[in-house]
Amino acid sequence: MFMKKEPASYGVIGLGRFGSALAKTLAEAGKEVLVLDRDEAKIQELRHYTEHALVVQDLNRETLEEAGIQNCDVVIVCIGERIDTSILTTLNVTNLGVPTVIAKATSRDHGCVLKKMGAQVVYPEHDMAVRLAKKLLSNNVLDYISLSNDIEISELRVTDKLVGQSVLETDLRRRHGLNIIAVEHEHSTTIEIDPGYVFVDGDVIVVIGQKDRVRAFEQYLLPKR
């Protein structure tokens, strides 16, 4: 049985490409991770990363409880293709009282059902497609994360519109309704933003704000022709 050993412990159920990558990344970061899957080969591979990797043929409440999934602070249900199993597993994990349950969905209808059970929903393929599209559509967008229907974080390359100006002079909050949450300069990133810092060519900024504001700012940054 998996016993909770630290404040941040994770459970990953389902070892497809998404679940395997997630479990490995968490384990490599030193987190306590409980991994469950019915495939012996996949579990054997994950035992190189965590000692809490168990083969389970059934994901009913009793089996999950015996494995100790209720002792995790966060459980991610990474079963996408078998929708009935995904829904039942999410229901069981939620009913066991796990504080945070995140579930992978393959469609909006699937996601709606998972949300009604109290799970946070992720759409890995959709989200990756949107991120790729954002990069393809703008040479300045390096990465992008949607936090909700209205808020997003965008990593943007500084252009001549900002080069030579200080953070204070750009006044992004008043002019563009955005907040700078990080600045990368020569491969060094800081979240302690100095108002007097002057942007130079090659800098990258990370901004947060409403989607329409971020998109307008992306257009503003387009190099002068």
Domain count of the fold of the chain: 2
pLDDT score for 136: 56
pLDDT score for 91: 95
Is 159 in the same domain as 102? no
- The model's pTM is 0.63
- Would 225 be classed as within a structural domain? no
Residues 162-166: contacts with CB under 8 Å, at least 24 apart: 162/199, 162/203, 162/205, 162/221, 163/199, 163/200, 163/201, 163/203, 164/198, 164/199, 164/200, 165/198, 165/199, 166/195, 166/196, 166/197, 166/198, 166/199
Is 82 in the same domain as 147? no
pLDDT score for 50: 94
pLDDT in tens, the chain (225 residues): 555 544 469 999 999 888 999 999 899 888 899 999 999 999 999 999 999 999 998 999 999 999 999 999 999 999 977 899 999 999 999 999 999 999 999 888 999 999 999 999 888 776 666 665 655 555 565 666 666 668 888 888 899 999 999 999 999 999 999 999 889 988 888 888 899 999 999 899 999 998 889 888 988 888 665
Is 107 in the same domain as 176? no
137: CATH: 3.30.70.1450
Q: List the domain range (segments joined by +) for residue 151.
A: 127-220
pLDDT score for 48: 93
Is 26 in the same domain as 110? yes
pLDDT score for 7: 46
pLDDT score for 125: 74
**Where a domain ends, among 96, 122, 148?**
122
